[in-house]
Amino acid sequence: MPENTKSGTKARLYDAFAASGKALASGKRLELLDLLAQGERTVDALAKAAGLNLTTASAHLQTLKQAGFVATRREGVRIHYRLAGDDVAQLFALLRKVAETHQAAVPAARDSYLGEDAAGELSREELRVRIAAGDVVVLDVRPVEEYRAGHIPGAISIPVEELAERINELPEDMETVVYCRGEYCVLAYDAVRLLTDRGRQAIRLNDGMLEWRLSELPVDASDLT
């Protein structure tokens, strides 16, 4: 093959790679991927969760679909979106970690968003050991629909906005381990601050449901505990 032909085909290949990068070049599209990593959702639900109007949410989702990052199914007049595969979730998780490591603005933005964190945290493996020992309560503070789509086995579901009113559903004599969507999810931070302010023993899982799934750890779905 002539060199100029090879150069042209190589350019097309790298342009195809770049199309994926372009689809990720939006904070709101990354937020939509974060939401879809928790489970399938309708356009309406995604728009509400991401603070977008329907037209803007649909446009972002179409961009992600054209790049092959999301897939759809139709149920009547409703269109449901989901991640196209676990590899998309892995890419999203890796992108965040690489950005935190190499982009100077990320740590400061992370700390500003998540807030001060005086409480401790524990790893997935440490949590599994403590679950087996039966000495902790595991609390999922994501929205109920995300809990139903998949949660850590045995976890109690109390969405963070309901926690203040439902705190008495948690035993007072056990430490509560809180988790939410992933490592950068503010819901767990807010929940731990609320629990400790109320005199409860509370600690965070150091990541969340995204990383739990990607580690291929056991996941329960549908039931509410």
Known catalytic residues are 180
Q: Are strands 78-83 and 70-75 parallel, antiparallel or unpaired?
A: antiparallel
How far apart, in whole angstroms, are the C-alpha atoms of residue 54 and residue 52? 6
DSSP state of 141: -
Cβ pair 131, 201 in contact under 8 A: no
Query: Going along the chain, which residue ranges are E strands?
Result: 41-42, 70-75, 78-83, 121-122, 136-140, 156-157, 175-180, 202-208
Distances (CA, A) of 222 to 128, 153, 225: 21, 11, 10
Nearest to 152 by CA among 135, 128, 121, 170: 128
